[in-house]
Amino acid sequence: MPFSHKTLNLALLTLILFLGIPALGESQRNFFHLSVTAETWVEELLQLEAERLLNLGFQQYNRSQFRDAVESLEKALEIYRQLENKAGEGRILNNLGNIYLSLGEYPQAEQYFRQSLEISRQLGNKAGEGSTLGNLGLVYSSLEEYAQAEQHYRQSLEIYQQIGDKASEGSTLHSLGNVYSSLGEYTQAEQHYRQSLEISQQLGDKVGERNTLNGLGNVYNSVGEYAQAEQYYRQSLEISQQLGNKAGEGTTLNGLGSVYYSLGEYAQAEQYYRQSLEISRQLGDKAGEGRTLNGLGNVYYSLGEYTQAEQHYRQSLEIRRELGDKAGEGSTLNNLGNVYNSLGEYAQAEQYYRQSLEIKRQIGDKAGEGSTLHNLGNVYVDLGEYVQAEQYYRQSLEISQQIGDKAGESLTLNGLGTVYSSLGEYGQAEQYYQQSLEIKRQIEDKSGEGGTLNNLGNIYLYLGEYPQAEQYYRQSLEIFRQIGEKAEEGRTLNGLGNVYNSLGEYPQAEQHYRQSLEISQQIGDKAGESGTLTNLGSVYNSLGEYPQAEQYYRQSIEVREQLRPGLTDEQKISLFEQQKSTYERLQTVLIAQNKLDAALEISERGRARAFVELLADRLSDNREIPVTVTPPNLREIQQIAATQKATIVQYSYIREDFTFGNVKRLQESELYIWVIKPTGEMTFRRTDLKPLWQEQDSSLAKVIADARCFDNFACREDNTIGQTREGTTEVRSPGGTFNQQAQEEQALPVSQEENPELKQLYQLLIEPIADLLPTNPSERVIFVPHNALFLVPFPALQDAQGQYLIEKHTMLTAPSIQVLGLTRDQKQAQTAVNSDILVVGNPTMPVVGTEQLRALPGSEQEAREIGQLLNVTPLIGSMATKATVVQQMQSSRIIHLATHGSFDPNIPLDSWLALTPSGSDNGLLTAAEIFGLNLNAELVVLSACDTGRGQITGDGVIGLSRSFISAGVPSVLVSLWKVPDDSTSLLMREFYQLWEESGDKGQALRQAMLTTMQQYPNPVNWAAFTLMGEAE
């Protein structure tokens, strides 16, 4: 309802002038003496002040200065109560309710409206009663408690019809239309809007007519009848322009933006949103500005321009927070969650969704709460955590059913269908999709209907029931073409292409992919364009037309690359994970054409991209200008091998499509192996992985996991190596923190049983290239693993005669060949070498959550021995505070840290090393904090925990080691599992002595392992450590 105020009359304006005068003349005082009694004089002054405050509050409200308006009106309320002016009190209470309604603080709004309603009923003020009932309807409508909203609006409507207030009757019919529109009961909504429109036109109420035309536009927009929606919006816009009503014009332009957004015509949508934004800024309408910035964010989000989307959402969020608009803030936080979810940044997405959820619960927005719970379910689906996802979906479903939100209910049923589809329970999935479909048809949600039909098509595609899949896709396609949703039309055409591709009907597949591609290119959907180009490549790959396949795969990669600028490190990694299969497929077609050099270049281009850019940026003279990094070609790769004086072994883990029954599945196929000698000679070999799953019911990841279990010691934490839904490998542990038991164990004796997986891994990884490796054990071999190979204990691999690989070769590892070149540049860029040595052991352990970390006496002994060897006093116990350690790190040449650590698989940069808490810090040095340091050390040693662990992506291992290299350290020594105290101490003493003598970290580590092996033969005691980066 409009914010009511009373215009000051001439007498009161005159009185204001007198109030500003400190003394009145005699004649004036006589005038007032004759006019009013002393009591009346005071009442008039108080009345005047109340009206002034009311007018001020009205102005503040119009400027969206809601908190200031509350302060002014509360002062006016106090005066009216002193005067016992019930009518004025009721009016102020109503206006305060309106302000809290605008702020999205619905419980407070309801409280004020109820007080106002009681006064109106006491006074017999039917008009006031009707107005306040309408406002209460608006509160419940905002809370999406539509049954309550309808009840209050109907009471209000009945009063207005009794007293013959046609204007208010029309306004209330409009509000009822809003209720039915929100419920998805669009026929009812249209009926009430049309009644409202008729009254507005009878009365010549152009403002009411404009509002209702806008409402009709919203109805048709919601049911996907965009041509009709546009027609009503344009009529509404014309009236606004005739009236010079800029605010109404801005609102309707926003609606037109929404129409074109829904049509996938994003350029047009952006144009209307920008016009709306300009008007909002001209009028100082901050609320409208925030709403339109949010709409622009939606446009960029749909275009896959996530940086732009985030920027607009953040501007919207800032405004909504400034206004105290809690409802808007919750909505925009939710949208930011969508951005991060689309980027695969699930931890960030969850964080925003949780903030949004908290707000929606605070303000009592049940529908918003249900929507955000649904989005949290989406996050866990993407993480492959289906039990959690189902819990969130069920909470969301319960809310939607409670409040009668049919649209929300259908959306969540769709989500539950996705959970069961992902679990392979297709019967259950179909059941949920069918329930969702039924509701979407009831509420005439054409867009949602098309989406669910598409999902049903996906189920039957996955089941290999291609005629059914085609039928659903075609129904979906028909709807999307009817309503003009180009983006969804493109996705459905892609689905049809997948059907024909699976059937081997390649001309048909190509035809549908090309139509899909054309739409993606028209609307600027880069992600969709890239995906369809990959699918076109797969068609030509299947046909054996490898040059054309190569062309499409390369185009797909180039398009996806356009999304990288402006992204954070984590966002770049997530974005790459979505396209890594394209790099694998491109390598296969290059190998098929015998383009071995080009395949190596693509293999290198497809790994550690974000890491490379970070290192290049650190080495840049001007950190303000983004560095453009070009992946190396064969000549540059050969130069890196020569500079490193090492034989480089690069692995590529290849998956391909295989048919199981009628169904195509992406399954591990081969290992590609390139060997680049220091002379520049390059040789390609390959290993067939198919027998692992075809004959042994196993996989490469399982073989690696089993190989790491030495007498079960390295497996005691029940670590498992698994594949995420996207194919990312990760090591998971139930507890989250590294097992402390390992630090208190004695070194294990030689195993009485052989570990056959160590020999199997040798056969798979080393045997095909054994003849290419140097025969001199002191010559370096640098392994560049891929995927789960980062977890392979290369030193412990055994040949057929039982000889360990470390006995034959000096080894290092690196996430990519280009990183090797950059760590060398990083070392050479260290102009002033630090002289200090920092050794830390067994800090006074902090509490993490509710868990007190246990002391590590073995690590303390190790630190004392290393300190004695290096002639430095170690930081032990309470001396090893986080502040002290960080300070000394920045002046140290060697950094040796023997303490607990933790890897966070969801937020790798939240992984930590435990130090002594002090002051306000919790004692946890995170990977993110290390990442932000500027270190000048030659070497960091992370001892006493499995610090080489992390999330394994195309960017390598994302964890503590990567953070230290990014911070400027060219060499990091880490362990792949927890090593017993005795053997760790021996190995570390030997390593430092040998490094001091030879200056070669790689040689020193090899000799230290061989020495430790003599005393502690079990590989668990010596094979865990790996040197990343520079050897010298």
pLDDT digits (tens, 9 = 90+) for 646-704: 999 999 988 887 877 777 777 889 999 999 999 999 999 999 999 988 888 888 888 88
Number of neighbours of residue 558 by Cβ within 10 angstroms: 11
**AA letter at 8:** L
**pTM for the whole thing?**
0.71
Inter-residue contact 331 to 291 (CB < 8 Å): no
Tell me, rounded to whole angstroms, the distance of Cα 295 from its chain centroid.
19
Domain boundaries, the chain: 38-164, 245-305+312-322, 325-436, 464-606, 642-731+755-813, 834-1029
Phi, psi torsion values for 839, nearest 5 degrees: -125, 125
Number of neighbours of residue 273 by Cβ within 10 angstroms: 28
* CATH topology match: 245-305+312-322 vs 834-1029: no
What length does the chain have? 1032
Architecture of domain 325-436: Alpha Horseshoe (1.25)
Mean of pLDDT over the chain: 83
Tell me, rounded to whole angstroms, the distance of Cα 846 from its chain centroid.
30
Give residue 583's pLDDT.
86
The helix or strand, by DSSP H or E, that contains position 810, with its residue range, turns out to be strand 810-813
**What is the per-residue pLDDT across 142-190, written as a single tens digit (0 to 9) for each?**
876 878 999 999 999 999 999 999 999 999 999 999 888 877 677 888 9
Inter-residue contact 866 to 992 (CB < 8 Å): yes
Q: For residues 355 and 734, which has the higher predicted lDDT (pLDDT)?
A: 355
* Model confidence at 499: pLDDT above 70: yes
Residue 744 is classified by DSSP as: G
HSE, side-chain direction, 13 A CA sphere, residue 62: 12
Which tokens is 1015 given? 């005393």
**AA letter at 144:** E
Residues 6 or more apart whose CB falls under 8 angstroms from that of 69 comprise 57, 58, 60, 61, 99
Closest CA to 901 of 952, 843, 954: 843
* Model confidence at 765: pLDDT above 60: yes
Q: Which of 35-44, 265-274, 498-507, 776-785 has the lowest mean pLDDT?
A: 35-44
Q: Does domain 245-305+312-322 have CATH number 1.10.1060.10?
A: no
656 strand-pairing partners: 667
Q: What is the three-class DSSP state of 92? A: helix
- Angstrom distance (rounded) from CA 53 to CA 45: 12
Of 1.10.8.50, 3.30.450.20, 2.60.40.10, 1.25.40.10, the CATH number of 464-606 is 1.25.40.10
Fold of 38-164: 1.25.40
Which tokens is 708 given? 């790491």
Q: What is the three-class DSSP state of 951? A: strand
Inter-residue contact 955 to 807 (CB < 8 Å): no
Of 3.30.365.10, 3.40.50.1460, 3.30.1490.20, 3.50.50.60, the CATH number of 834-1029 is 3.40.50.1460
Beta strands 682-688 and 663-676: pairing type? antiparallel
Which tokens is 92 given? 């102020």
Percent of the chain's residues with pLDDT above 70: 84
How buried is 511 (Cβ within 10 angstroms: 0-12 exposed, 13-18 middle, 19+ buried)? middle
**AA letter at 478:** E
Maximum mean pLDDT: which of 82-96, 359-373, 671-685, 698-712: 671-685
- Angstrom distance (rounded) from CA 536 to CA 552: 6
Maximum mean pLDDT: which of 91-95, 590-594, 623-627: 590-594
* Model confidence at 818: pLDDT above 80: yes
Q: Which of 295-299, 380-384, 623-627, 763-767 has the lowest mean pLDDT?
A: 623-627
Closest CA to 602 of 816, 783, 779: 816
